[in-house]
A and B are shown apart, each in its own frame.
Chain A
């Protein structure tokens, strides 16, 4: 997307002195952000998704307060009286709307607190991967030659790593005593590391391809001819033009990473109890699904809705940022 744009608007904002080309209308200039928002807000589904994600973020930040306001016990409060004689947890009730788990912990409370892990992993993991991938892709695409070869082969090597197996291995190796002399402890840190390790490569490839094209554009040639340094060209001329595809791709990565966290937690690599995580809850619920469906269903629904919201938001962002490929 090129910088600068203008279109006919009936309002007064952004008015410029130009001939009246549309009768009573005025020709007004709009910023890219305004154009994006104008397009984005027309997409009701994406807008609802955005609001849902905003709500999730609020819930994640204020989880203890939300739990308290709802009159629920804390996520780690164990109450064996809420299980029956077989140790099977009791189902949904007014006091425990999502039921309890086999330790008598409130599932709703844990689902709410689980939002934190999912969003931290989804957002932080994606952010780390995006920054890393953008830098690598930018350098590879801009410098080409041996730099490109070296970085691209590095990408190939990382892409060949089986992430789930690596996750299982790291989780096992770093459990109890940690890895690298105890500096890397299992849990959230390992999950974010894995996500960043795997996902930067995809972003790097996309960015590299775009940069290879952008570096031949006239505005880059012009900047170079005016004596701009490589760093300036990359940061001031090329990077702004990568914004839209990076945002779109990152928004689509977030749900993937939330699912990856859930998968790793399901496999026992993720965060450890008593910290609540949706994947971990689903894994723990598997043996008791036939007698305690709620223990799996509610975290599953939370996971489904969150991933769906991020996916729909990503689609909306793509449509708004790239109107030429909009459906």
Chain B
């Protein structure tokens, strides 16, 4: 599945090793499987899911060995971004709110003592903090609201450059001029209360974003000297508030002690953590993380080893091996993101909505999903809000909106021809003179995605120019740069930063977010009606109301065939036979060190 999920604030999904489809689950037996999450998606019998894993009763003690072929990207809570980072960050840091492992819809107060209070004008959010939470050594003192304020303020420091700040905290009063110093929109009336004042009625999205690591407290008197460096060096001198901390020396130095880039990391118990203040059980005494190695080798080590987990994406062959021979050691987590084809809505053949619908109808989404690993790890994608995110059911659930171009997962040439005729091509095939520029990403499964797309377009009569580049280049130089006028980007994807549908649809389909570079609205979707509905939905408060509003927007996107969806990702994770792993559905099922225990 996903090598390393990139959160929505700036980048997209990295193509995964595997995925799957919705129909014909006979081989994996989903019809009699266990419900794997709030979306009701079932996993095959014997396979674990975050929803089915007990969060209590674990054996206390022991050392868990974690094998990761990927290294961390950023461990500073002000910078953390990828799912691998999150595994360590959420074991060591406590944001104001966080999700329990089995939910992506309802955050629990973490550093906060109660749910956020949103004012009636939706321009103010008040959060009360718990008492008795202390920083790890060498800081040791109790956490106050000023530490939370500094944590968020430093996100605007260019040396920290938090990737979410402008997206979710940009509506704070004074945020536009913030550079790391105090922000007028953040007030701390007492040591355990923090108040956010906004210039726009966007309190709900800010409140939702308080689950991000950015809201985890940072002691200013300790961190400021490190934040003065460009980039900040606080990540090398981390202090913790969670049950674990990176092993460090007396001065708090982590680099070279608790974390050796490219080699290893060690998490030990935070002596200042109090179980009475936290919902995390923290069974393990130590987490020893080994970095590097071939995914195929790592996977076999874990499946046949002891007290081990792999915490990044297993190789596709390992997933198959685990399913066939070590099924109880395999966890499948739904809601790991989306994969779709971005088509240029602004210019070229796909500026015509009927051409886009024809492409959608012609595409064999079953083949796309098989190329990503089969039905065990994907469902055929039928709209854009993905499972476990509020709004998924409102947008049509797994089956999706009932429109003829969406009704045939394996593609339907007749329906495709119908829409080509509606697009002005009487033969049912494209007869215009344009050559469609396809820019895909190298590597599996992205290259296969691109090949299927290329063949589909040729079957529709298009002349294509087919290119494959490195995935980062695909995003940064071509698909994320509107001036390049790429017609088709065959495998872009998205994962939400938190369980709110706005995080799935806004940046990717709202015309106001089209940027000259680093653009994440890859198809340059700029429909005034959709833009207006998104603007209205942004200020709606309440999970159900937001789910309804954004679900309706999703249906509108399907009606416009704004992009061609093909895979709802599920994420496989593997553990040794003597590990009671607990996966985080909110973090693509990655093992949660704070809940996992040894058998």
Contact = CB atoms under 8 A, between A and B. Distances in A.
Interface of A: 76, 78, 80, 83-88, 102-104, 172, 175-176, 186, 268, 272-274, 284, 287-288, 290-291
B425 interface: no
A175 to B, nearest CB: 5
A291 B317 contact: yes
B136 to A, nearest CB: 41
Given A86-B374, A87-B372, A186-B467, A290 B317 contact: yes
Contacts of B17: 287
A79 B366 CA distance: 11
B113 interface: no
Contacts, number: 94
Nearest to A292: B317
A293 to B, nearest CB: 11
Contacts of B473: 172
Nearest to B300: A290
A48 B511 CA distance: 66
Interface string B155-177: 00000000000000000000000
Interface in B473-531: 473, 478, 484
A103 B371 contact: yes
A179 to B, nearest CB: 13
A35 B341 CA distance: 64
Contact of B316 (A86, A175, A176): A86
Given A86-B18, A175-B468, A291-B320, 13 more contacts: A76-B455, A78-B364, A78-B452, A80-B366, A85-B375, A86-B373, A88-B374, A102-B444, A175-B469, A176-B484, A274-B466, A287-B316, A287-B444
B470 interface: yes
| 5 tightest A-B CB contacts, nearest first | A85-B27, A80-B367, A86-B374, A87-B370, A87-B374
Contacts of B447: 273, 284
B439 interface: yes
B469 A274 contact: no
A80 B468 CA distance: 22
A80 B364 contact: yes
Contacts of A288: 316-317, 444
A78 B455 contact: yes
Contacts of B484: 176
B319 A86 contact: yes
B66 to A, nearest CB: 23
Contact of A172 (B410, B470, B478): B470
Given A86-B316, A87-B371, A172 B469 contact: yes
Which one of A80, A83, A175, A186 has the highest number of Cβ atoms from chain B below 10 Å of its Cβ?
A80
A267 B439 CA distance: 18
A104 B371 CA distance: 9
Given A175-B468, A287-B315, A83 B455 contact: no
Contact of A274 (B371, B444, B454, B467): B454
Contacts of A86: 18, 27, 316, 319-320, 323, 373-374, 376
Contacts of B376: 85-86
Interface of B: 17-18, 20, 26-28, 296, 315-317, 319-320, 323, 364, 366-367, 369-376, 410, 437, 439, 442, 444, 447-448, 450-452, 454-455, 466-470, 473, 478, 484
**Is chain A's interface secondary structure helix, strand, loop, or mixed overall?**
loop
A88 B473 CA distance: 28
26 contacts: A76-B455, A80-B366, A80-B367, A80-B371, A83-B370, A84-B27, A84-B374, A85-B27, A85-B374, A86-B27, A86-B376, A88-B320, A103-B371, A172-B469, A172-B470, A172-B473, A176-B439, A268-B442, A273-B447, A273-B450, A273-B454, A273-B466, A287-B315, A288-B317, A290-B296, A290-B317
Contacts of B437: 176
B467 A287 contact: no
Contacts of B442: 268
Which one of B18, B28, B467 has the highest number of Cβ atoms from chain A below 10 Å of its Cβ?
B467
B451 A85 contact: no
B505 to A, nearest CB: 28
Nearest to B17: A287
Contacts of A175: 467-469
Contacts of A83: 370, 374
A88 B467 CA distance: 25
Contacts of B373: 86-87
B477 to A, nearest CB: 8
Contacts of B468: 175, 268, 272-273
A84 B296 CA distance: 20
A100 to B, nearest CB: 12
Contacts of A284: 444, 447
Given A85-B374, A87-B370, A272-B467, A103 B28 contact: no
A103 B442 CA distance: 15
B451 A78 contact: yes
Contacts of A102: 370-371, 444, 448
A76 B372 CA distance: 19
Nearest to A274: B451
A268 B443 CA distance: 9
A103 B467 contact: no
Nearest to B28: A85
A273 B449 CA distance: 11
Contacts of A76: 455
B469 to A, nearest CB: 5
Contacts of B296: 290
Nearest to A83: B370
A301 B443 CA distance: 23
A85 B374 CA distance: 5
Contacts of B366: 80
Nearest to B375: A85
A102 B372 CA distance: 9
B156 to A, nearest CB: 35
Contacts of A84: 27, 374
A288 B316 CA distance: 8
Contacts of A176: 437, 439, 467, 469, 478, 484
Which one of A88, A272, A284, A288 has the highest number of Cβ atoms from chain B below 10 Å of its Cβ?
A272
Nearest to B444: A287
Contacts of B316: 86-87, 287-288
Contact of B317 (A103, A274, A287): A287
A186 B27 CA distance: 41
B486 to A, nearest CB: 8
A91 to B, nearest CB: 14
A89 B270 CA distance: 49
A172 B28 CA distance: 40
Contacts of A88: 320, 374
Nearest to B19: A87
Contacts of B369: 87
Contact of B455 (A87, A186, A274): A274
A102 B316 CA distance: 12
A291 B468 CA distance: 25
Given A103-B451, A176-B439, A273-B447, A80 B370 contact: yes
A83 B323 CA distance: 17
A85 to B, nearest CB: 3
B481 to A, nearest CB: 11
A172 B478 CA distance: 13
A213 B370 CA distance: 64
